Amino acid sequence: MKEKKISIIIPVYNVEKYICTSLDSIISHKKSLDKWLEIILVDDGSTDNSGNICDRYASKYSFIKVIHQKNQGQSVARNVALSVANGEWITFVDSDDIVRADYLSVLLANIMDNKEADIIIFKYKSFTDKDNVQNKIDKISPYSSKKVSILSKSKAMYYITTEEIGNYMWNKVFKKELFNNIKIPVGKRFEDLAVLYKYFQLANEIYLYDDILYFYRQRENSSIHVTNAKEKIALLRESIDVRTEQLKFFKEFNYLRAYKSANHYFMMEEVFYIVGINRYNLKKDDLYLDAQKYLRSYMPRTDDGIKFYLFIKLYNKIPKLIERCLKIIK
């Protein structure tokens, strides 16, 4: 098949409520897409009508292809799509998110104007089902090359630890060859956090387009929003494990600003882990003991947030009392 300019990879699982809105936001504002674009929808064993909706779009648009597979998770879906993608550039969209009206035009302009780039970052904005996000999408400023800047590797690493940019795959566009030797890790709910810095390390040139192109839907029943106590703790364990590896990497390669920023979020999760284990009266495992040791060595600052500052100060002085209080406080 002839190589396309951009491949957009979209894992799909039980999103019949959102998938049409997501796809329409991508494709409804530019013509002749079949010449340079492909969208790969991976139906990951959906049990609702999502798979049929994907097929309907594929039958209507020649640049959309659908892969149906048994449920194996988002990481597998993304890797499967990467194995068949024909794009020179790769980007990702979550199937419940939306993009601004000129998303494709701006992506293409960035790629054509910045031929030396290996990764181009753009900004995003979060929203919920209660928000009138259409007003935000319509209030856009046109593409401008003046919004583009080249980032040092150190600054790029720092940016992915910030809320403004974040450890997400979907607000970046990547040269396809970056995925040749590093696959997205399977079986992790924080696969973006686990692998994004590795792609940044491989890249020679990283650019920032200083504008919002992507709108990230936050919904309570997503894979990282859980209510069950044991699931919350399991989720924290996964995140702590991934963040530990990221911190080791930042320290090894002397990305000090990124390390400091990432360490702040790691501290927060260590606190949440100690709070959660006590609140839900779960076993104090080795990870709990590691969290205690970490907090004893952490020097809290007021800019960590006053709650975290006070918790660490008090917990390090009177841990037993704090633990008893946590079991009582709901």
Task: Indicate whether 139 pLDDT > 70.
Answer: no
Position 95 in a domain: yes
- Contact status, residue 98 vs residue 69, Cβ threshold 8 Å: no
CA diameter of the chain: 67
- Contact status, residue 192 vs residue 94, Cβ threshold 8 Å: no
pLDDT level of residue 130 (50, 70, 90 thresholds)? confident
pTM: 0.93
- With tokens 């192109």, the residue in question is 213
Residues 139-164, mean pLDDT to the nearest whole number: 92
58 with 131, same domain: the answer is yes
Domain C-terminal end among 193, 217, 241:
217
Position 222 in a domain: no
202 with 264, same domain: the answer is no
- With tokens 């566009």, the residue in question is 173
What is residue 29's predicted lDDT score, i.e. its pLDDT? Answer: 65
Position 51 in a domain: yes
- Contact status, residue 214 vs residue 122, Cβ threshold 8 Å: yes
Strands in the chain per DSSP E: 4-12, 37-44, 64-69, 87-92, 98-99, 119-127, 148-151, 172-175, 206-217
211 with 119, same domain: the answer is yes
β partners of residue 43:
12, 68
Q: What is the pLDDT of residues 172-193, one digit of tens each?
A: 999 999 999 899 999 888 999 9
CATH number, domain containing residue 77 = 3.90.550.10
Position 104 in a domain: yes
Distance, CA of 264 to CA of 161 (rounded, Å)? 10
- Average per-residue pLDDT in the chain? 92
- Contact status, residue 51 vs residue 21, Cβ threshold 8 Å: no
What is residue 137's predicted lDDT score, i.e. its pLDDT? Answer: 60
Q: What is the pLDDT of residues 95-113, one digit of tens each?
A: 999 999 889 999 999 999 9
Task: Indicate whether 281 pLDDT > 60.
Answer: yes
Domain containing 168: what range? 4-217
What is residue 15's predicted lDDT score, i.e. its pLDDT? Answer: 97
Q: What is the pLDDT of residues 286-314, one digit of tens each?
A: 999 999 999 999 999 999 999 999 999 99
302 with 202, same domain: the answer is no
What is residue 165's predicted lDDT score, i.e. its pLDDT? Answer: 96
Q: Which of 21-30, 67-76, 260-269 has the lowest mean pLDDT?
A: 21-30
311 with 242, same domain: the answer is yes
* 36: enclosing H helix or E strand: none
Distance, CA of 294 to CA of 312 (rounded, Å)? 10
How many domains is the chain partitioned into structurally?
2
92 with 19, same domain: the answer is yes
Distance, CA of 317 to CA of 302 (rounded, Å)? 18
What is residue 131's predicted lDDT score, i.e. its pLDDT? Answer: 75
What is residue 329's predicted lDDT score, i.e. its pLDDT? Answer: 74
Q: What is the pLDDT of residues 209-231, one digit of tens each?
A: 999 999 999 876 555 555 688 88
Q: Specify the DSSP class assigned to residue 15.
A: -
How many residues make up the chain in this entry?
Answer: 330
Q: What is the pLDDT of residues 258-278, one digit of tens each?
A: 999 999 999 999 999 999 999
